[in-house]
């Protein structure tokens, strides 16, 4: 059983004591994953002082594991073709108000180059849940196309994918394309709600979707991302279901997801429910939820998208978020200024440079690092570094080096100025002299024209 509903309901009804909260936060400071029962204590803590301690501890844990680095990426939509009728999505197959399009390989190159010209080095390829006649081959060719694109010395160094569930044989084909993370959201773990929201198409099969991550692991893909679309059902249930899913993966494969995404439902063309979520999550509850997830799985990446406003995203940086998208478009051809309907409304319309400036202004260092993927620090190998907090020794210098590349090649004058200040501070905060020496030597090489240095 992947989702233990009986256990979840018991946890939802639990009423915590102050001493329990104190003990759980102490456990989090030991960088240990929390049980479902312990997560329920955090979810059911409502007093102002208790919530404040949760938020403060989450920030401490994130910095202890990852430091103040924040990974930057952008989604790359190559198709809005879809067989599914998901009532919350603009791409639903019954929505006749949008033009359907699958980008050609030439158009995918153009989109990738447009992203590269802003300074991006990591993308999340999104293909919807239906492909042209070529089937999965279309996606595999698109991956090759993205990796082959260039803007001067700049190229996409790591491509993650958000695709429909696959069989094991096709997951193996996907792995051969040198992807980073395979990402798939359950949308809602509540089975009755799931059935009401997915009216037809392959996605209607709840069990096939929730077992897709198992098949990805069985095919050898050891970096996976899961997530929930918050607003479709009670957020407390969804958080506990996420923990149930993680517990299942850890018991079966010895590791859980590499990332968790936490989008909130936003308006979408042709969807009434998207404009009036049945279970809206307030800003305060959303921030608390981010912090709880950071404490629940301290070594797992938490991703925040441009669905959220610039203000919310800035506030969330101190609550445990470790990755954000920036300068995003959610329609095929959007980076090449193609005028078409996006999958959902964006809350943050800033370009990459403005987001980077804001990240620095809030005391964080932007990172375009892909070192772990390329050196094989994935799956269990990554967790061996992450769980004791040692991954920071890799993340921090790699963030500094890749950020210097951005400053040299793409930054505006105001961003370059604050970026140089940010790097100087980051150098001072590196954990030891050997790491600092490597970072400083690498920075000089970047200034001298070398690129793509990592440890």
Whether residue 148 is found in the same domain as residue 42: no
Query: How far, in Å, are 132, 200, 343, 393 from residue 100 at the CA level?
Result: 11, 18, 12, 46
State the pLDDT at residue 67.
Answer: 87
Structure-token match 């256990």, residue found: 7
State the pLDDT at residue 15.
Answer: 80
Domain count, the chain: 2
pTM for the whole structure: 0.94
Of 321, 346, 371, the one marking the end of a domain is 346
Whether residue 24 is found in the same domain as residue 126: no
Whether residue 104 is found in the same domain as residue 247: yes
Question: Using one digit for the tens of pLDDT, what is the confidence trace for 47-94?
Answer: 999 999 999 999 999 999 888 999 999 999 999 999 999 999 999 999
Give the angle subtended at the CA of 111 by the CAs of 309 and 171, to the nearest 5°. Answer: 90
Whether residue 203 is found in the same domain as residue 81: yes
Whether residue 143 is found in the same domain as residue 244: yes
Whether residue 266 is found in the same domain as residue 295: yes
Q: Measured between alpha carbons, how far is 72 from 207 in angstroms, rounded to an integer?
A: 32
At 371, the pLDDT band (50, 70, 90 cuts) reads: confident
Of 440, 364, 391, 418, residue with least CA distance to 71: 364
Question: Using one digit for the tens of pLDDT, what is the confidence trace for 392-433?
Answer: 777 889 999 999 999 999 999 999 999 999 999 999 999 888
Question: Using one digit for the tens of pLDDT, what is the confidence trace for 179-234?
Answer: 999 999 999 999 999 999 999 999 999 999 999 999 999 999 999 999 999 999 99
Whether residue 35 is found in the same domain as residue 72: no
Residue 62 lies in a domain: no
Whether residue 43 is found in the same domain as residue 185: no
Residue 429 lies in a domain: no
Whether residue 35 is found in the same domain as residue 149: no
Whether residue 94 is found in the same domain as residue 210: yes
Whether residue 338 is found in the same domain as residue 231: yes
Residue span of the structural domain in which 310 resides: 68-346
State the pLDDT at residue 163.
Answer: 95
Of 346, 378, 405, the one marking the end of a domain is 346
Residue 213 lies in a domain: yes
Query: Is the per-residue pLDDT at 390 higher than 90?
Result: no
Whether residue 158 is found in the same domain as residue 22: no
Structure-token match 């429909």, residue found: 164
């Amino acid at each position: 059983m992947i989702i233990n509903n009986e256990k979840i309901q018991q946890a939802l009804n639990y009423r915590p004591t102050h001493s329990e909260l104190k003990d759980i936060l102490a456990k989090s400071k030991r960088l240990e994953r929390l049980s479902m029962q312990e997560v329920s204590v955090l979810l059911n803590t409502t007093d102002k002082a208790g919530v404040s301690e949760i938020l403060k501890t989450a920030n401490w844990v994130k910095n202890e594991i990852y430091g103040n680095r924040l990974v930057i990426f952008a989604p790359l939509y190559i198709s809005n073709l879809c067989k599914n009728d998901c009532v919350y999505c603009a791409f639903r197959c019954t929505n006749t108000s949008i033009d359907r399009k699958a980008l050609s390989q030439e158009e995918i190159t153009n989109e990738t180059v447009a992203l590269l010209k802003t300074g991006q080095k990591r993308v999340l390829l999104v293909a919807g849940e239906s492909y042209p006649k070529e089937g999965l081959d279309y996606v595999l060719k698109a991956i090759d196309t993205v990796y082959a694109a260039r803007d001067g010395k700049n190229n996409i160094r790591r491509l993650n994918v958000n695709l429909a569930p696959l069989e094991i044989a096709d997951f193996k084909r996907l792995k051969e394309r040198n992807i980073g993370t395979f990402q798939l959201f359950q949308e809602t773990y509540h089975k009755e709600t799931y059935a009401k929201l997915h009216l037809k198409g392959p996605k209607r099969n709840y069990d096939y979707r929730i077992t897709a991550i198992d098949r990805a692991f069985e095919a050898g893909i050891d970096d996976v991302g899961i997530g929930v679309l918050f607003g479709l059902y009670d957020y407390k249930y969804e958080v506990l279901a996420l923990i149930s899913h993680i517990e299942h993966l850890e018991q079966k494969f010895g590791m859980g997801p590499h990332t968790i995404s936490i989008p909130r439902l936003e308006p979408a063309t042709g969807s009434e429910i998207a404009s009036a979520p049945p279970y809206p999550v307030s800003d305060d509850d959303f921030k608390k939820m981010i912090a709880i997830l950071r404490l629940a799985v301290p070594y797992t990446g938490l991703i925040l998208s441009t669905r959220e406003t610039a203000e919310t995203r800035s506030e969330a940086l101190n609550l445990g978020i470790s990755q954000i998208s920036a300068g995003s478009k959610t329609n095929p051809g959007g980076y090449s200024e193609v005028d078409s309907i996006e999958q959902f409304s964006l809350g943050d319309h800033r370009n990459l440079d403005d987001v980077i400036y804001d990240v620095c202004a809030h005391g964080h260092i932007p990172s375009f690092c892909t070192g772990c993927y390329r050196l094989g620090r994935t799956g269990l190998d990554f967790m061996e570094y992450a769980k004791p907090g040692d991954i920071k020794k890799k993340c921090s210098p790699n963030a500094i080096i890749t950020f210097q590349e951005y400053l040299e090649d793409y930054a505006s004058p105001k961003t370059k100025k604050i970026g140089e200040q940010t790097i100087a501070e980051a150098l001072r905060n590196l954990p030891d002299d050997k790491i600092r020496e490597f970072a400083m030597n690498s920075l000089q090489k970047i200034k001298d024209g070398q690129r793509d240095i990592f440890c």
